Structure formats: structure tokens, C-alpha cells
Structure 1
Amino acid sequence: MSPAEFCSQTIMSTYESKFAQDEIEESQRQDIAMRMGYLTERQFGTLAKITASTLETWRRTGRGPSYTRLGNAVFYALDEVRYYLALSKKKIGTSRIQAGTAQIQSINKGGY
């Protein structure tokens, strides 16, 4: 094995080891957070299909559910997430219902 190959393999092995350790720590963090009634930033992002950078922007601009920061980790209380989801609930407006009803009535009368 050449020195370059050895160096490359060592770097990859170190990177893979660090990645595996990060995944273990994230798994432990998620487990502890859930037992305490919180979601991690990653869990909330996955739930809402929102990237970490978007969540950071939301926190900076005061949008989204309230959060707790512990060191560099961000957590969202399940109650706050539920409240935010309830506020974000989309309702069908009466004007859309009325327009749909008028269109159906028009079709029923033969007005395609």
C-alpha cells in the first residue's frame, strides 16, 4: 500500500468512525429528549420536512414553535410542537366552498 493510499484510508476510517459516533450520540440524544417530552432539531425537521438551515432561520426571525437550547443542541417541547401544528392547521375557506358549490350547481343545470 502506498503512503497516499494509507493516508486516504486512514482519513476515511477516522471520518467513518466520527460519523458513527455522531450517529450514536444523536440516537442517545433523541431517546433522552423523547423521555423528557422533547423533539430534537433533527426530529422536528424530519417531521415538518424542514431543513436545519430553515429551522435556524425560523429561530433567528421568531417563527415556528418555541424552542430550548442546551449548549449547541436545540430541542422542541412536544406541547409547543402540537400547539404550533394546531395554529398551522389549514381550513377550507367558505368562499372556496361557495365557489365550488356554485360550480357544481352550474354543471347540474347544464352550464359546462
Structure 2
Amino acid sequence: MSERGFSILLILVFVIMILAHFITPLSTFYRKGEKVVFCPFRRMTGLPCPGCGMTRALWALSGGRVREALVLNPFSVIILGLALLEVIPGFRIENPERIYRWLLPLVLLWWGVRLL
């Protein structure tokens, strides 16, 4: 799948999440105290991976709860922003590898701090 295709898919999932807020009460998907773990890394080790919290963060963002999303996984906001930029007609991210070279160390640093 191309970068643009992935961006379109991410935005489509995000729009579906926004619509779900209007159709179904939040408590149906996101109950306090209940924890469903999808992450294979976390299931095997008991430790969160760098992407843990991303789905819940995107769910929080789709409901307009930016602060909660940043607490759950701050990179959800960055990834969604990059995906939105990617699908704007005529807009092209110059040298995306440069973004990834800066983003990867930040993710690893954040993950290390989160494990402490």
C-alpha cells in the first residue's frame, strides 16, 4: 500500500470513529476499568510498546478530547496530522524520510520514559 493509500485509510477509519460518537454511546466502546489488549508485544511482555494507546488516542481525538489523546499517545496527533497533509491535493511532504529520522528517536525516547 502506498503512503497516500495508507493516509486515506487512516482518515477513513478516523471519520468512521467520529460518526460512531453520534450513533453509539462512548461507553459501548470505551469502558473505564475494562482493558482489552490488542498489542502482541504487550500480551507477551506485559510492557507497553511505542504504539500502545494509539487506538484509544485516535478514539479520544475523534470525540474532540485532544488532551486525553496526547496523554494516551502523543504521536497519534502527529500521525493523523501527517495523514491529513498527505491527502490534500497538490500538497506533497518534501523529504518524508527526514521526518521519520526525527520522529523515530522521539518515539523511542518517549517509550523509554513511559517504561520508567
TM-score with structure 1 length normalisation? 0.26
Larger RCO: 1 or 2 (CA < 8 Å, sep 6+): 2
More strand by share: 1
TM-score with structure 2 length normalisation? 0.25
